[in-house]
A = this chain, B = another copy of it.
Amino acid sequence: MALKGFDHLVVRVKDIEAGIATYRDGLGLELERTDESEALGIKQAFFQLPGGGFIEIVAPTDPDSAVGRALEKRGEGIHTVAMEVDDLEGTVSAMRDAGMQLIGEGGPQVFVHPKSTHGILLQLTPRS
């Protein structure tokens, strides 16, 4: 079991166009692509980092989506820290045994609850 390193950050923003302007023009990152998920109620923009990994910004299209509710409650800022793992199943199993509260076990996206990490929604991303 091990977290290998950082994979990506997800940043919650109010407005996707304003977010793109900041991350592309202000911070100088390369906008790789934009997307929209009706299921999740969000617009997304992805910025690839030259050294590996990426930053994703998300803005709600539905105020009742998870991102919309988090924005309402906590404002703009980091939504998720995604870390790369070698062995997802083994890592999840070891964390569960250690008493960590997991979200989405068995599904495509597994997270450690912020209550278990001192305030970070930690996504476990299998090495691609």
Interface residues of A (CB under 8 A from B): 1-6, 9, 11-14, 18-19, 22, 25-29, 49-53, 57, 75-78, 81, 83-84, 91, 94-95, 98-100, 112, 114, 116-120, 122
Contact = CB atoms under 8 A, between A and B. Distances in A.
A126 B105 CA distance: 38
Contacts of A49: 3-6, 83
Nearest to A51: B5
Q: How many copies does the complex hold?
A: 2
Contacts of A27: 3, 95, 98, 100, 112, 117, 122
Dominant SS among interface residues on chain A = mixed
Given A91-B28, A94-B28, A50 B11 contact: no
Contact of A116 (B26, B53, B120): B26
